Amino acid sequence: MTARLMAVRAGALTTVQDAGRRGHAHLGVPRSGALDADAMRLANRLLGNHPDAAVLETTLTGCALRPDRDVTAVVGGAPCPVTVNGRPAPWGAPVRVPAGDVLDAGAVTAGVRAYVAVAGGIAVEPVLGSRSTDLLSGLGPRPLRDGDVLPVGAPAGQVAPPVAAPWPGPPSELVLPVRPGPRADWFAPAALGTFTAATYRVSPHSNRIGLRTEGPALRRATEGELPSEGMVLGAVQVPPDGRPVVFLHDHPTTGGYPVIAVVAESALAAAAQAAVGTPVRFTFG
């Protein structure tokens, strides 16, 4: 038998995430998956897991888990204090957690999302090929609650960890490279200039569906409404208030607001760690 993890403290929002559900947008199913995929894959690498093995993604307040068998875990992503039964343990490196002890990933000290990976991966049943929680459609396991129990897969065995784990720090300024979107011509020339010249800030209303911004409104050249059309990961949609919204992994697959630009997917890991109030700039190129 393999280990099981009980949630002693579920935290503000802790979900199971892996690489997500690719290829189902035509069915109205978002990709979902870890917002900071780089952090997920590095944590898995340190444990000898498959890079896309399922992990726990926490939001701001972390979580605490009690295994019923000895496990090895890594807490990475956003920096946070880590303890095992109240004793300090390393962040960003493998930690042995004896059966019955409590692994606690505390509140983040920077960034937004910490990742808790366990040797063997979180082994909940996959849905449409993924174990990810999708907050928009409700597919996958529900967000973690106190007392929930999660199965763990079989560990790969002894692994030689890298000499150094290059964990990137959360951004002090979020610079998002973009290319023109399919509805850039719906905006006045001055609005396109504002879009790349202004500094926006991360809104407290951001979530796994989209990173919302606060800043100058972008004025349209074309009024009216679009019929719903397909939306992609990283699409920068502009709702009626004129403030750009960057679609993240739980975004809807269709939408009717114009898309002024699309953010390169490689930049979205940093977006996942941009705390409320972080300056945001959009750059074409």
Res 159: pLDDT? 65
What order do you get walking across the sheet with 87-89 strand by strand?
A: 87-89, 82-84, 103-105, 63-67, 4-9, 149-151
In the Cβ-directed half-sphere of 69, how many Cα atoms lie within 13 Å?
13
110: closest CA among 75, 76, 80? 80
Res 285: pLDDT? 75
Res 1: pLDDT? 74
Q: In whole angstroms, what is the distance from residue 194 CA to residue 217 CA? A: 9
Contact 77, 36 (CB under 8 A): yes
- All structural domains of the chain, each given as residue ranges with its CATH number in brackets, are 4-151 (no CATH), 174-284 (2.40.100.10)
Bridge-partner residues for 202, per DSSP?
213
Res 152: pLDDT? 98
Q: What is the mean pLDDT of each run of 10 residues along the chain (285 residues)?
A: 95 98 86 96 95 98 98 97 97 96 98 98 97 93 98 83 77 97 93 96 97 96 84 96 97 94 96 98 92
Res 224: pLDDT? 75
Q: In whole angstroms, what is the distance from residue 4 CA to residue 50 CA? A: 19
Contact 20, 208 (CB under 8 A): no
What is the pTM for the complete model shown? Answer: 0.95
Q: Are strands 174-180 and 279-284 parallel, antiparallel or unpaired?
A: parallel
Res 271: pLDDT? 97
Res 30: pLDDT? 87
